Amino acid sequence: MTDASIDPADPSDRDEHWARRAAELALRGEGLVEPNPMVGCVVVREGRLVGEGWHERFGGPHAEVNALNAAGEGARGATLYVSLEPCCHTGKTPPCTDAILAAGVTRVVAAVADPFPQVAGGGIHRLRAAGVVCELGPGAEPARRVLAPYLKRLATGRPWVIAKWAMTLDGKIATASGDSKWISGEASRAIVQRLRGRMDAIVVGRRTAQLDNPLLIARPPGPRVAARVVVGPIAPDCRLMETIADAPVIVVARSAEEEAACAKLGSLGADVVCLDNDDRVPVVTRLVELLGARGMTNVLVEGGGVLLGSMFDARLVDEAHVFVATKLIGGAGAPSPMGGAGQGTIAAGARLVDAVIEQVEGDVYIRGRLGDGEASSAGA
């Protein structure tokens, strides 16, 4: 087995090897650093790893500083690999470029340039001006996968949207009578709880809120407490409102009439937002833009079929997590995961471009990112 702390045998693989390690480390900050990007860093001297780190929490030291602290004097004359261009401005922490120069690093390899306006190439420029050799690009593919939610939010102002559902082998999310507990097994539901625990918001439709009366709170708690978002009015005595002290509730009214019907919810602490009907822009698009404007990076859409169908029709979904139970319930009136208008041809449908399929006890867990039809790619 190759020692991960030593350069690979083939020198041509060296930069890619360490850059991929930096991207792996970045994922350890998932759910802890947003809206900052997840970033990882390794410091290598004379072919050996002397320090590594990652951005561990929002407001805390960046990955470069943590890796340099771990390396100590070993950083002098070393190469620093980082999954995102080092920052060159003072935010909640001092510039990482200053820390790199003070440590005596002589070469920096950054996988991806940072489009953040206060960096945007400035970090590389600052280091080069000080005599540090800089390269951009090795390890870009895995780094971009990790950074995708951050890069999307900067480019579009919208959060990364994840669709999740559980269905039977015959493609039903509930029986014709509305019973849906439980389609998936306990192990699958535990995965969903972990997913919820790193979200900024969890979105459901009004009918799902009525039929399931969910809490939408991660159990056990994760690193983040998601806002619970319902499209349409809900009952004042539902579990979402009863637990509003534990997690915020946003109720989206789609008309002035719905907004009036939500007046009591507002008096009980819910954030009632009215997105008036506008045939030019779907409500779900304006909802996603609203959540992005509130600084949210990751949003989970849990259904039901009407909401999920609207999200897919508007091409808003970036990633899907699907749990398929080995159960058959039938029923012409039993709902499927997605309603909406749908696509006119198979070729026009979205598809998973990097699907991972695994068995979780009695269920099949399928997850991946979405692309558009036959021309799809990994995207951001």
222 is in an annotated binding site: no
216 is in an annotated binding site: yes
Active site residues: 64
82 is in an annotated binding site: no
305 is in an annotated binding site: yes
Q: Which residues of 184-221 are buried (b: 16+ CB within 10 A; e: fewer)?
A: bbeebbebbeebbbbbbbbbbbbbbbbebebbbbbeee
Q: CA-CA distance, 265 to 261, in Å (whole number)?
A: 8
20 is in an annotated binding site: no
Query: Would you say 305 and 358 are in contact if contact means Cβ atoms under 8 Å apart?
Result: no
376 is in an annotated binding site: no
- Tell me how long the chain is: 380
Tell me how crowded residue 12 is: count the other CB atoms within 10 A of its CB.
Answer: 8
Q: CA-CA distance, 256 to 35, in Å (whole number)?
A: 32
30 is in an annotated binding site: no
308 is in an annotated binding site: yes
182 is in an annotated binding site: yes
Query: Would you say 142 and 157 are in contact if contact means Cβ atoms under 8 Å apart?
Result: no
292 is in an annotated binding site: no
302 is in an annotated binding site: yes
Name the residue among 367, 342, 378, 328 with its Cα closest to residue 170: 328
Q: Residue for token digits 């290598």?
A: 44
Q: CA-CA distance, 378 to 10, in Å (whole number)?
A: 28
Classify burial at 350, counting beta carbons within 10 Å of its beta carbon; exposed 0-12, middle 13-18, buried 19 or more.
Answer: middle
307 is in an annotated binding site: yes
Preceding amide of 159 cis, omega within 30: no
336 is in an annotated binding site: no
CB under 8 Å to 12, separation ≥6 — which residues?
Answer: none
Name the residue among 255, 244, 251, 159 with its Cα closest to residue 205: 251
267 is in an annotated binding site: no
27 is in an annotated binding site: no
310 is in an annotated binding site: yes
DSSP-derived 3-state class of residue 67: helix
The number of CA neighbours under 13 Å toward the Cβ of 193 is 13
Q: CA-CA distance, 226 to 243, in Å (whole number)?
A: 13
96 is in an annotated binding site: yes
The number of CA neighbours under 13 Å toward the Cβ of 261 is 12
Paired tokens of 188: 């699958």
128 is in an annotated binding site: no
180 is in an annotated binding site: yes
Residue numbers belonging to the annotated binding site for Zn(2+):
62, 87, 96
Residues annotated as binding site?
62, 87, 96, 166, 180, 182, 196, 208, 212, 216, 219, 302, 304-310
Annotated binding-site ranges for substrate: 180, 196, 216, 219, 302
Residues marked as binding for NADP(+)?
166, 182, 208, 212, 304-310
